[in-house]
Amino acid sequence: MKMSDALGCAGGAISLLLASILIPFVGPFFSLLIPLPFLYYSTKLGLIEGIKLAAAAVGVIGLAAYLAGYSRIILPALEFGIVGVVLAELFRRRLSLGRTVFLATLFMLVIGLGMLGIVSLSKGMGPMEMVLSYLGGHLDAAVQTYEDGAPSPLAAQELEAYVKAFMATISQVYPSLMIIGTGFALWLNIVIAKPLFRLGKLAYPEFAPMDRWQAPDHLVWGLIAAGFALFLSSEGVRFLAVNALIVILAIYLFHGLSIVVFFLNKFHVPSWIRLGIYFLIIIQQLFLIVLTFAGLFDQWIDFRKIHRRADSQTM
């Protein structure tokens, strides 16, 4: 392991951390990319050397964070370092894109929950309780700031009622939001790693084209089971069913997005029109619903004619 590699990995991760803290609005986006330096150098050096480099880089980040008074970012840096090494190992195994994202998400959730459990135990709280307390504290501070400058007491009361309803909703769906957010972050790292690997002349897995990606056919049974479970009387079962339903629908949403990308590629739609379409999808909830149903019914309708081509090739 060269010193230049360790400094490059640590420097890249620190730059992303600083960008996530100092840049307003879009700063959190850079925090999602922190596994990238670890993924790049672990792929370049191999598993054993990658682990050594990740440990050295996290040590440098920890020291810098401690001296700068940001010691709270040490654990996230450690988590992202481990995830980057794991992603590099999954790349070497040449798995499919879906399986790579699934296994990386599962691993990151286990690591994240483990670290969250350690921190919450040190504070005498449960993991879920600590997360909700942290979120509630930020919302209470925002409400207090609004109340100080609110034009009327009624407006402040409405905001407080909204915050309570929001917290009640989050407490029911937080697990699914965490799973979806983790999966999206890892997918983003995998996508952005491709041009980065090309610049470094590193081998990138030959994933199937993303515009042909589809959800597993058997996933529909999970959707049906989760839907029926919503009508059961058990609160615990309904809690699991709601979160499972949200995760499955998010998977079908990405299936629907892959269909859109397929036709955009097929008809060679210009980039500026694509950006407009993606923007409309983000801001208009109706399009999200349509894409989710398109992903769900694609296994029967076969919008892209993928199944028909596969059948014709096997005959």
Whether 105 and 186 have beta carbons less than 8 Å apart is answered as: yes
CA-to-CA distance for 10 and 299, rounded, in angstroms? Answer: 44
Residue 46 CB contacts under 8 Å (≥ 6 apart), including other chains: none
Q: What is the pLDDT of residue 151?
A: 59
Q: What is the pLDDT of residue 112?
A: 84
Q: What is the pLDDT of residue 312?
A: 43
Which one-letter amino acid corresponds to residue 31? S
Whether 81 and 59 have beta carbons less than 8 Å apart is answered as: no
CA-to-CA distance for 90 and 104, rounded, in angstroms? Answer: 8
Cα–Cα distances in angstroms (integers) from residue 102 to residues 54, 109, 208, 307, in the given order? 22, 11, 16, 23
Nearest to 259 by CA among 286, 289, 282, 292: 292
Consecutive 10-residue averages of pLDDT for the chain (315 residues)? 79 86 80 92 91 88 80 82 93 92 92 81 71 68 62 65 77 89 93 92 89 91 93 87 95 94 92 91 89 93 75 41
Which one-letter amino acid corresponds to residue 262? F
Q: What is the pTM of this model?
A: 0.85
Q: Based on C-alpha coordinates, what's the Rg of the chain?
A: 22
Nearest to 290 by CA among 308, 272, 307, 277: 277
CA-to-CA distance for 230 and 220, rounded, in angstroms? Answer: 16
CA-to-CA distance for 265 and 46, rounded, in angstroms? Answer: 35
CA-to-CA distance for 147 and 270, rounded, in angstroms? Answer: 47
Query: How many other CB atoms sit within 10 Å of the CB of residue 71?
Result: 11
Which one-letter amino acid corresponds to residue 137? G
Q: What is the pLDDT of residue 265?
A: 92
């005959």: which residue's tokens? 315
CA-to-CA distance for 303 and 140, rounded, in angstroms? Answer: 47
Q: What is the pLDDT of residue 314?
A: 37
